[in-house]
Structure formats: structure tokens, C-alpha cells
Amino acid sequence: MSSDLPHNLPIQNVLSLLGEFDYSEVPKSDRYIHLRRFDDRTVITIPNRARVHRAVLRSALIQGGIPEKDFTERLKGAISVSGKESILAHVDILGFKSLLDEAKESELRFDELLNHYHKALRSAFSRIKSVTEVRHKYDWKRISHVRVYTDNLLFVSELRRQTGGESEFGRTIDEIAMYQLELAIEGFFTRGGVVIERAYCDEVTVFSPALMDAAGIEKRALFPRIILEDSARERLRRYLKWYNNPAFCHFNDMVVIDPDGTWFINYLYVLRWFNDDMMDMMERHGEKLPVSEGPYFPAAISELHQHRDHIKRRLAEFKDNPVVFRKYLWLACYHNWFCSTYFSEDGDAEISDVGITLTFESCFAAKSEVNHIN
């Protein structure tokens, strides 16, 4: 059985860490150390040697019913840690301050807004957290953490050197997109940025120079979108070089380029992805869609329509506030471009009377630029 426990550890470290799980030594012999909890009959037996082999350590954890994940988290406090090249995403919610201002109006309004926000954030966060936890559980040495503070989400995932970090990069982009979509269909639009930077993160510490510029990243995003900062964009360009055909490149649809040259996460693409998965599955099982719903999976269309309605409401709400209105106008353009590109047969999805059309292109289009540069 493979394990990510260290190959061996000094016995004193092991005893001290087991002590944190309430196991203390039972005096018995020189050759073996036995540990037990005060009110428990469970006994852990390990050989009394200067260093504890990984297999022996794992056996001690099983004997004591200690989850490996919990032990390894404590272990980080006992052994030296180091920063690793990671992908970091910093995301915040657009208009959160005005939401808090509104919450001050009355107790009733406070609770109403709190519940709406809480429901949306909890659902989006628990999804991204469970993915991160699973990843962390099977490879504890790799940094993979997610944090939420007020409306800020910080996501850190270490890039593997052997593979150039492509799979971690891709997964992070997907997870951020899912988080963004889940909040958007509840009416909370996000903005932020993705960077590649040296970082360290565990249950208690977040350490990276990228954090110093978190506010700058949000400002540069300008609109409700999660942009790829220079470091992330250059890394993605490197990955794009590996592909000849966009059909085989996952990033082709997940990252698009704004006419202003900004690369950002095409979070609505998660809906198309979901739609295709469900339609394929129904086809495999010979199921037919209700005729009235058209050629798309009803839940995907319904969420796309919810997205549309939230934007329409915001456009109406901020029609007299040009600074904020401009942000939602951009969002309406993005929504319309997405609908015409990925759900072109649904006549209702687009927002009418936007007055502007923006055309975004796939990041794969920038591949020629890469070749030119190189």
C-alpha cells in the first residue's frame, strides 16, 4: 500500500505527536514502546529505536485509530516545511461592501441577506473544499488548501515539477470556475486573479509574496471575472505549445481572451460541460428530452437563465451608477457571447438591448503568438 508518510521519523517526534492524540507511554520494556490513552484499552506497540520506519508509523496510526490526515497535519508543526511553486487564486465578491451596508438597515434585512449569502457561499465553498480535501488526503506533502474570509477566497495548490504542473493548473482553473458559477447563479458575481508563485499553506499558515498584491489583482480584474496574471498566462502559454489541436486542449474553452487582451476564466463553460455530460448519458440510456425543452439539458438552461436574470436585475438596479453599471454591462456582453457560442439554439438565453457586442477568443488562438515569440 502506498503512503505519503515520511520514510522515517525520530522516535521523539513520533512520541510527542502521538501525545497530541492523548497517547502516553506505558512503562514496560526497553525493546518496545507501548502507548495508551488513559481511559481506553487500545494499546499502540512500536519498536524502541532511534528512528521509526514509515511502515511502523502507519501501523501505529492504525492501532491507535488515528486518521493519517490528522497525524500529518500535526507533523507539519514538527518537521521543517518549505514553499513550493504553486498556483494561487484570489477571489472576492463584487459589491460585497454595499451588501453589508444594506444589511445594516434592519435586523430583518440583515438576516435575509445573511441567509442568502450563507446558502450560496456554503454550497460553493463546500464543493471546492471537498475536492481540495480529497486531493490533500491522498498526497499530504503537496500543498492544497482553500480558505474563506468574509467574501475572500484564497486557493493554493502546489504544481508538480515532473509534469510541469499542468494537471494542477487545469484542475484549479476548473474548480475556480465551478466556485464562480455556483455563486453567480445565486446572484453573487466574483472577480479576482490567478498567479503562479512560490507559496506555503497549511491549516494555520498561508505564506506567499503573491498575497501582498491581492488587492492589486482584484483591481486589475476590473470586471466581474477571474483573470490570469502575467505569471499564470505565461505558464498557460507553455502548456498550449504542447497541443496541436484545440479539440484535445482542455484550456481551449476554459480560458478566453477579452478584446482588451485580458485572459480570464470562462466560468459559464462549466454549464456547457455539464450539459454535454448529461446529454451523453441520456443518449447512452436511450432517454428522450421533453420536446418543449429544446436541444439542451433543462437544468443547464435553467441555470443559464438564472444567470441572465441576475444580470438584467443588476443592470436595472445600477442604471444610474455608471461605474457599477459598466461592470454589469461587461458581464452582459460576456453572457451573450457565451450563449451565442455555446448555447446558440436557445433563443431566450441572451440579454436583449445590451447595445454592445464583445467577441472573446479562445486562449488557443494565442498559440500562434507563442510560436511567433519563440
Partner 1 sequence: MSLNDEYDTNPLSDLDTVDLLFGDLIRVSRDGECFVAVDHLTHIAEVGSTEAEAVNNLRQAIREHINVVKNTLEQMRDFDRAFREDAGDH
* Contact residues: partner 1, CB under 8 A: 7, 26, 28-29, 31-32, 34, 36, 41, 43, 45, 47, 53-56, 58-59, 62-63
- Give least dist CB 26 to partner 1, A: 6
- Give least dist CB 265 to partner 1, A: 43
Using the 8-state DSSP alphabet, how is residue 160 labeled? Answer: P
CA–CA distance, 303 with 273 (Å, rounded to integer) = 13
Q: What number of CA atoms fall less than 13 Å from residue 51's CA on the CB side?
A: 6
Specify the residue, 56 or 304, whose C-beta has the smaller distance to partner 1: 56
- Give least dist CB 138 to partner 1, A: 20
Number of H helices, E strands in the chain: 13, 14
Specify the residue, 54 or 137, whose C-beta has the smaller distance to partner 1: 54
Where does residue 165 fall: left (phi above 0), alpha (psi -120 to 50 degrees), or beta otherwise?
Answer: left
- Give least dist CB 18 to partner 1, A: 15
CA–CA distance, 212 with 219 (Å, rounded to integer) = 13
Specify the residue, 41 or 372, whose C-beta has the smaller distance to partner 1: 41
Specify the residue, 1 or 323, whose C-beta has the smaller distance to partner 1: 1
Decide if 35 contacts 44 (C-beta within 8 A): yes
Q: CB atoms < 10 A from the CB of 79, how many?
A: 12
Q: Which residues contact 7 (CB under 8 A, 6 or more apart)?
A: 53, 54
- Give least dist CB 133 to partner 1, A: 25
Specify the residue, 59 or 152, whose C-beta has the smaller distance to partner 1: 59
